Amino acid sequence: MSEITTKLTKKFFMSLPKGVFIMSNIGDAPGQPTCFESVSSAADRGKQWERIVLLGCSNRLCSVFKNEEEARALLSSIKYKGAQLPQPPRRPGPRLKEQTTTTLTKKFFMSLPNGVFIVSNIGAPEQPRCAEHVLSPASEREKQWERIVLRGCSNRLCWVFKNEEEAMTYLRPLKSKEPPPPEPPKGPGPKLKIIK
Predicted pLDDT of residue 65: 92
pLDDT digits (tens, 9 = 90+) for 20-55: 999 888 876 666 788 889 999 989 999 999 888 888
pLDDT digits (tens, 9 = 90+) for 123-137: 765 677 788 888 777
- CB of 145 closer than 8 Å to CB of 114: no
From the number of C-beta atoms within 10 Å of its C-beta (0-12, 13-18, 19+), residue 144 rates as buried
The amino acid present at 17, given as its one-letter code, is P
- CB of 155 closer than 8 Å to CB of 103: yes
- CB of 56 closer than 8 Å to CB of 151: no
Distance from C-alpha of 8 to C-alpha of 22, rounded to nearest angstrom: 9
Q: What's the whole-model pTM score?
A: 0.47
So where are the chain's domains? 1-81, 84-175
